[in-house]
A and B are shown apart, each in its own frame.
Chain A
Amino acid sequence: MVSLPQRMRKLQTKLLAIRLGSGAVILPKDVKRIHLRFAKRIEGGHMGPRKFMQYELIRLKYHNPAVSMTVDRTALAEDAAVMSVHFTQPAEDGTDAQLTDRVQTIDMKLRNNSEILEQLVQLTKAQPVEPTAEEIEELKDLEEQRVKGARDSARSAEVRARVKREKELLEQARGDMAAQVA
């Protein structure tokens, strides 16, 4: 098993990728639900929605845990790929209004993930999340570690290759010797 700091670096990288990146936006309070409907396979312009689900939707969910986000992938390739955003008007007394007031849709077909996100941000007037100073520091540290790790692994790979080659030659020589004797 790899060492704990190594594992923690990997985990930290993963968690930072959930927190920061494209799609890290805070939706306004009146957004109650986001529903995606697109096809299982990418033919017919369904790749963008899938990429959006893989990358942006995760960060969107992290920053908006109270917004219900559902994915329906039963559509056929020729069907439309639609994102529907459900808005609810907050009631005056502060309690959650259960009735959805309006639903607006975004056509995702033949669009890539960043275009879809742009449209969503435009539609909902969502605020982007900026990385804090600590997070920037952390990202920098992790990047440094990655660069250093790549350098070190290249170096040790070289050493290991050399040792292996020497060992092979030795082995070969021994084999030759045994053949000579026999």
Chain B
Amino acid sequence: MATSRFCPACLSSLSTSSTLLRLSRTTTTTTSIPSAIQHQIRGAASSQNALKYRRKDTPASQKRKKARSTFLQPNLKNAIQFSLVDAMRYLRASEVAHPPQQSKYELHIRLRTPKNGAVVRNRLRLPHPVKTDLRICVIAPPDSAAGKAAKAAGAVIVGEDTVFDAVKEGRVEFDRCLCHTDSLPALAKANLGRILGPKGLMPSVKTGTVVRDIGSSVREMAGASEYRERFGVVRMAIGQLGFGPEELSRNIWAFIEAVKRDISGISDQTAKDVHEVVLSSTNGPGLSLDGTFRSEGSLEAKGLGVD
């Protein structure tokens, strides 16, 4: 129907003849044209007027839906869930063709949360650290007590002006950066935010990287990993591929407990809740965990740690 009515060939012939028709209409009698065609012509020709009086509000069917304020929460009854040992067995199998040092287990905690509001963000030292070769930089005078404590705790780079100069030359040879409270003015003066900011390395009070007790923070950070909520999910590398199920389960519980603590910490601003816990690996599928350690049909746990 629509195609035949708005067929371009017909339309062009119609519109080219429309001026003629109009002429004929003005010169001769209007009644000669059947009323239906006349109506059509008028509608087509007087579109200036039609434009003026066109409906401005779009019909309800085309109106944009109101955006939802929370993230989708699928019903987990329909999901296939796994015990830890079963999930690990699948992940180990799918990681077999990849170098074992590169692959990690990852945990994704999906939250029931509104889209706006405060987000979960913190650092955590897992019972079994995933990454041990973290290079930490401490901004403090190297010969002060704080500087010495930092060195003793395992910081790789300690200094003030030397660090600033190195960073300005583009040599950022560290993965984490801490700053002593007394050195903060010097750091602010050095104007490194342009370089360190995008890398997420700029120390600030808000992220807890400007501290007084440097030694213990360095020690805490050496085995710690950061996590934050993005799009309603908190993700973190949770273990090396060589971990056994017991080690991994300790890490998982530590992480979940930490996230729950953070959630209760911001509960007065934003109400959140853990919805789903998914274990995956660098190259493997994501498998939803059901919270149990092993299921009926699963294997002995001891074999899962071998490469």
Contacts and interface: CB of A to CB of B under 8 A. Distances in A.
Interface of A: 1, 3-5, 8, 11-12, 14-15, 18, 53-54, 57-62, 65-71, 165-166, 169-170, 172-173, 176-178, 180-181
B62 interface: no
Given A11-B287, A176-B15, A181-B47, 6 more contacts: A5-B78, A58-B94, A65-B89, A65-B303, A66-B303, A66-B304
A12 B18 CA distance: 63
29 contacts: A1-B72, A8-B79, A15-B285, A18-B94, A53-B96, A58-B93, A58-B94, A58-B96, A59-B93, A60-B96, A61-B92, A61-B96, A62-B89, A62-B93, A65-B299, A65-B303, A66-B304, A67-B306, A68-B306, A68-B307, A165-B3, A166-B3, A169-B2, A169-B3, A169-B7, A169-B8, A177-B44, A177-B47, A181-B48
Nearest to B44: A177
Contacts of A181: 45, 47-48
Given A18-B93, A65-B303, A173 B78 contact: no
B205 interface: no
- Interface size classification for chain B: 35 or more
B285 A173 contact: no
Contacts of B59: none
A54 B97 contact: yes
B136 to A, nearest CB: 32
Majority-rule SS of B interface residues: helix
A54 B74 CA distance: 33
Contacts, number: 91
Most B CB contacts (10 A, CB to CB) among A4, A11, A61, A65 go to A65
B67 interface: no
A36 to B, nearest CB: 9
Contact of A69 (B12, B45, B96): B96
B133 to A, nearest CB: 22
Majority-rule SS of A interface residues: helix
Contacts of A59: 93
B6 interface: yes
Given A8-B79, A65-B89, A173-B11, A178 B97 contact: no
B80 interface: yes
Contact of A176 (B11, B92, B99): B11
Contacts of B300: 66
Contacts of A176: 8, 11-12, 15
Interface in B67-102: 72, 74-75, 78-80, 89-90, 92-94, 96-97, 99-100
Contacts of A61: 92-93, 96
B47 A178 contact: yes
A21 to B, nearest CB: 12
B302 interface: yes
Contacts of A178: 47
A65 B45 CA distance: 78
A52 B87 CA distance: 23
B304 to A, nearest CB: 6
Interface in B1-42: 2-3, 6-8, 11-12, 15, 18
A62 B90 CA distance: 6
Given A15-B285, A176-B15, A8 B78 contact: yes
B250 to A, nearest CB: 20
A16 to B, nearest CB: 11
B285 A69 contact: no
B304 A65 contact: yes
Contacts of B302: 66
Nearest to B299: A65
